[in-house]
Amino acid sequence: MSPYRRIYDRSLKDPSGFWGEAAAEIDWGRKWNKALDDSRAPFYRWFAGGQLNTCHNCLDRHIAAGRGVQLALIYDSTVTGTIQTFTYSELRDRVARFAGALRRQGVEKGDRVIIYMPMVPEAVIAMLACARIGAIHSVVFGGFAAKELATRIDDAKPKLIVSASCGIEPNRVVQYKPLLDAAIEIAAHKPRGCIILQRPQGRANLIAGRDIEWDEAVAGCEPADCVPVAATDPLYIIYTSGTTGQPKGIVRDNGGHAVALKWTMKNIYNVEPGEVYWAASDVGWVVGHSYIVYGPLLHGCTTILYEGKPVGTPDAGAFWRVIAQHGVRVMFTAPTAIRAIKRDDPNGELIHKYDLSKFRALFLAGERCDPDTLRWAGTKLKVPVIDHWWQTETGWPVTANCLGIEPLPVKPGSSTVPVPGYDVRVLDDNSREVAPGKTGCIVVKLPMPPGCLPTLWNADERYRHSYLVAFDGYYLTGDAGFKDEDGYVWIMSRIDDVINVAGHRLSTGAMEEVIASHPDVAECAVVGVADELKGELPLGFVVLKAGVARDPQMIVKDIVQLVRDNIGPVASFKTATVVQRLPKTRSGKILRGVMKRIADGAEVKVPPTIEDAGALDEIGAALREVGYAKPRASEGSET
Ligand code: COA
Ligand code: AMP
């Protein structure tokens, strides 16, 4: 039996034994009673009874083991021209001091702290400082607008918010503070205070009595020690898009998370402690949590915090420069980033400027990876390029090519095989497993392995309803696809209103809620249409109220701005079209899937349930006006 097969089979036959052994890699203050607690199934818990501290396992334990002088964090900012390094000892000291500062502001174990920051070391320090004192952090991505931040403030009810004066995008300085102020104004919950990091690129005005500067907050603070927390206590909450405007607060625990992430570093990514690992993502996304901060530090690696883009900062060689300069062994990014590089440097000429001799593998996730992009990267970089699939909910890969166990042949377009711990099945609507090659809903048989979400923040019922009721005994991933004859998993699409724009997960339902609030709009629909660079882009269809006489172009301009103001620039909502009616079924359901296919120029079968087939022609005409609905070249067209 192959090593992968043996390890995988064991992980499913004896999950408690398998993860119990993996847990030996973590320092526990008190050992757990039982690896898997299924007494409240389907709410499973891992390592109940155990106590640990995640920050201790990320920093102090490595210092005790002699890694104090090794680099823990390299901050490489192409947008400010800064490189700053932190050894494990230096990072621990900064974290302990900031943990003391949080304490001085009244933050205690179990309190929530929202972190709304750009890619600066203080964001990582704030996360680890929360973990150190048992506070629960919730990092909010900087590209979200004030209203999205306000929704998260109202759900997490933070005692404190840590933010910065500004973020830096290549084309502009983004003032964070006005967004923060507006969010607190909108939110019903008011935090007790805010700690603001002043950046020289744009200083913020502070509100007396509420805001305090980072430097002042840490001045004279006693460093705080690690506080033991229960393995099942939350480490963080991360909000992710669901099908409505109310994001889901994914809860991550301490014990299962530490065990699982530590295990992945060797078994999936095949990196050793002491090596440099780089995830080019943002701390606001789950990839940033798991593979900029926690995974590499739990494993004793050097991690890189990169503030910049794959292209334009200054060019499409930026990633290769970072790999060469810092000796990166393994890198993780989104396919979009590679597509952007390929677009600017199609022959990969900039790669030859750098010494990539230490570089061993590139991992891609966050969106479907088209085979062309995967092949291009493999040919140009001459290292294995591994597509792997996971979600905010799981916190670590569900399917992958586990390089540390046994590299399997790569099939471009497939994210390879289930990772040990995940019993991945493909089911039809009647909960029956489908034959190899047949598409169905991708689910994971319960229990999920450690580190996956135990529930949603303060919303057990929403957790059950969103993930567990569709197929009894299984977790619903929300993705559709198939397994082939070799057991490889192919993730093809979502089954809900979630779209993936440049690897960022967004809800078309949330955008529709915003557009519907425009006074001239009677109804609307948003679908994700194929985009060469970003994978998918949102596209809006708007039906105006009877009697509206304004220029439709002005209304479209309004709604584009409305989505930017309410959801944020990250939504990349730039195109909408006004139509007379939306295609619907006789029972009134909007045929979003059909509209998407028309926009993508794919073959469309008119559904028998359609109320008025003429609506489809109208949609096609409107789409052609905004540059969509062009027949695909492969279908014999002139394009
Ligand atoms: N704060 C404020 N605004 C932000 C932001 C942040 N942290 N991140 C992005 N934005 C803004 C951008 O400035 C842009 O605004 P614009 O409409 O005014 O131009 C908008 O949000 C969309 O950003 P982005 O999706 O990054 O697109 P882009 O056109 O600026 O860049 C790429 C294109 C391909 C370079 C970029 O999408 C990219 O780096 N993708 C990789 C994605 C990735 O790593 N995902 C992580 C998941 S693993
Ligand atoms: P997020 O929660 O933001 O990480 O987004 C998770 C979703 O992104 C998944 O449910 C998939 O729809 C999509 N996704 C992530 N990785 C992949 C991949 N390798 N292949 C296909 N889709 C992916």
505 lines ligand 2 (CB under 6 A): yes
d(C-alpha 435, C-alpha 433), whole Å: 7
How far apart are the CA of 122 and the centre of ligand 2, in A? 28
Q: Is 293 helix (H, G, I), strand (E, B) or coil?
A: helix
How far is the C-alpha of 199 from the C-alpha of 29, rounded, in Å? 38
Q: Nearest 5°: CA angle at 269, between 265 and 272?
A: 55
523 CA → ligand 1 middle, Å: 29
Residue 255: per-residue pLDDT:
98
Nearest CA to 150 among 136, 160, 140, 159?
A: 140
The alpha carbon of 141 and the centre of ligand 1 are apart by a number of angstroms equal to 11
Ligand closest to Cα of 308 equals: 1
Measured from the CA of 309, which atom of ligand 1 is nearest? 39
Ligand 2 contact via 240 beta carbon (within 6 Å) = yes
Contact 306, 337 (CB under 8 A): no
Reduced to 3 states (helix: H, G, I; strand: E, B; else coil), residue 553 is helix
pLDDT of residue 70: 98
| Residue 400 β-bridge partners | 417
Instruction: Dump pLDDT digits (tens) for 343-369.
Output: 999 999 999 999 999 999 999 999 999
Is the pTM of the predicted complex or chain greater than 0.85?
A: yes
Residue 519: how many CB atoms within 10 A of its CB? 8
Res 337 pLDDT > 90:
yes
> Does the C-beta of 391 come closer than 6 Å to ligand 2?
yes
Q: Computed over its alpha carbons, how large is the radius of gyration of the chain?
A: 24
Q: Where does 377-421 show beta strands of DSSP type E?
A: 385-387, 399-400, 417-418
Q: What is the pLDDT of residue 632?
A: 59
Mean pLDDT value across residues 308-318:
98
User: Which residues fall within 8 angstroms of residue 101, CB to CB, at 6 or more apart?
Assistant: 129, 195, 217, 218, 221
SS3 456: strand
Instruction: Return the residue whose CA atom lies nearest to atom 23 of ligand 1.
Output: 570
Question: Is there an atom of ligand 2 within 6 Å of 394 CB?
Answer: no
pLDDT over threshold 60, residue 607: yes
Length of the chain in terms of residues written: 639
Compute the Cα dihedral for 185, 108, 127, 85 and give only its sign.
positive
Whole-Å CA distances, 595 to 364, 546, 606, 629: 29, 23, 11, 9
What does each C-alpha distance from 405 to 3, 16, 302, 379 come to in angstroms?
7, 20, 22, 24
- Whether ligand 2 lies within 6 angstroms of the CB of 479 is answered as yes
Q: What is the sign of the dihedral through the CA atoms of 360, 361, 362 and 365?
A: negative
Ligand nearest to the CA of 492: 2
**Is residue 618 helix, strand or coil?**
helix
Determine the residue of 570, 573, 574 to mutate for testing ligand 1's pocket, defined as the one with the most ligand atoms within 8 A of the Cβ atom: 570
Residue 365 Cβ < 6 Å to ligand 2 = yes
Q: Whose CA is nearest to atom 3 of ligand 1?
A: 143
> Which of ligand 2's atoms lies nearest the C-alpha of 285?
3
Q: Band of the pLDDT at 565, cuts 50, 70, 90?
A: very high
> What pLDDT band is residue 637 in, cutting at 50, 70 and 90?
very low
Compute, in angstroms, the gap from residue 503 CA to the centroid of ligand 1. Answer: 10
Average pLDDT rounded to a whole number, residues 316-326: 98
pLDDT number for residue 638: 29
Sheet with strand 424-427: strands edge to edge: 424-427, 440-445, 474-483, 489-494
The band of 318, judged by pLDDT with boundaries at 50, 70 and 90, is very high
SS3 304: strand
The strand pairing partners of 480, in sequence order, are: 441, 493
Q: Please compute the mean of the pLDDT values over residues 123-129 and round it to a whole number.
A: 99
Q: Please report the atom of ligand 2 found closest to the CA of residue 364.
A: 19
Query: Ligand 1 mean position to 570 CA, how many Å?
Result: 6
Cα–Cα dist 626/129, whole Å = 49
d(CA 396, CA 232): 18
Query: Is pLDDT above 90 for 605?
Result: no
Mean pLDDT for the chain? 96
Mean pLDDT of the 606-611 span: 89
Q: Kindly give the number of the ligand 2 atom that is closest to the alpha carbon of 492.
A: 21
Pocket of ligand 1 (CB under 6 A): 142-143, 167, 169, 174, 280-281, 285, 287, 309-311, 333-334, 336-337, 340, 366, 502-503, 533, 569-570, 572
Q: Ligand 2 mean position to 308 CA, how many Å?
A: 22
Residue 32 Cα, ligand 1 centroid: separation in angstroms? 42
Residue from 172, 176, 309 whose mutation best tests the ligand 1 pocket (most atoms within 8 A of CB): 309
Domain locations in the chain?
Answer: 3-308+388-481, 496-634
244 pLDDT above the threshold of 90? no
Write down the CATH number for the domain with range 496-634: 3.30.300.30
Residue type, 498: V
Partners of 36 in the beta sheet?
Answer: 46
Q: What is the pLDDT of residues 57-72, one digit of tens each?
A: 999 999 999 999 999 9
Beta-bridge mates of residue 517? none
Q: Is 500 in the pocket of ligand 2 (CB under 6 A)?
A: yes
Q: 492 C-alpha to center of ligand 2: Å?
A: 10
Residue 287 Cα: closest atom of ligand 2: 4
Q: How far is the CA of 415 from the centre of ligand 1 (A)?
A: 24
Q: Provide mean pLDDT across the span 415-428.
A: 98
Q: In this predicted structure, what is the pLDDT of residue 581?
A: 95
DSSP string, 104-145: HTT--TT-EEEEE--SSHHHHHHHHHHHHHT-EEEE--TTS-
Ligand 2: residue whose CA is nearest its atom 13: 367
Q: Is 633 exposed, middle or buried (0-12, 13-18, 19+ CB in 10 A)?
A: exposed
The closest-lying atom of ligand 1 relative to the alpha carbon of residue 170 is 13
Q: Say which amino acid occupies 581.
A: R
Cα 444 to ligand 2 centroid, rounded to whole Å: 15
Task: Provide the pLDDT confidence category of residue 634 given band limits of 50, 70 and 90.
Answer: very low
Q: Determine the distance separating the centroid of ligand 1 and the alpha carbon of 139, expressed in angstroms.
A: 17
In angstroms, what is the span from residue 88 Cα to ligand 1's centroid?
A: 30
DSSP H or E stretch at residue 76? strand 71-77
* Spatial contact of 522 and 544, defined as CB atoms under 8 Å apart: yes
> How would you label 357-389 residue by residue, b for 16+ Cβ within 10 Å and e otherwise?
eebbbbbbbbbbbbeebbebbbebbebbbbbbb
The pLDDT confidence band at residue 636, using thresholds 50, 70 and 90, is very low
Q: How many angstroms separate the CA atoms of 55 and 254, rounded?
A: 10
Percent of the chain with pLDDT over 70: 99
Strands annotated E in 508-586: 521-531, 535-544, 575-578
The class of domain 3-308+388-481 in CATH terms is alpha beta
Grade residue 243 by pLDDT with cuts at 50, 70 and 90. Answer: confident
Mean pLDDT of 313-333: 98
What pLDDT shows up at residue 16? 98
398 contact partners, CB below 8 Å, separation of at least 6: 389, 390, 391, 418, 419, 422, 424, 444, 477
- Comparing 146 with 607, the larger pLDDT belongs to 146
Specify whether the CB–CB gap between 477 and 422 falls below 8 A: no
Please write the tens of the pLDDT for every residue from 447-456.
Answer: 999 999 999 9
What does the pLDDT read at residue 242?
80
Condensed to tens digits (0 to 9), the pLDDT of residues 287-296 reads: 999 999 999 9
Q: How far is CA 240 from the centre of its chain?
A: 8
How buried is residue 64: exposed, middle or buried, by Cβ count under 10 Å (0-12/13-18/19+)?
Answer: exposed
Tally Cβ neighbours within 10 Å of residue 411. 16
Which residue has a Cα nearest atom 18 of ligand 1?
569
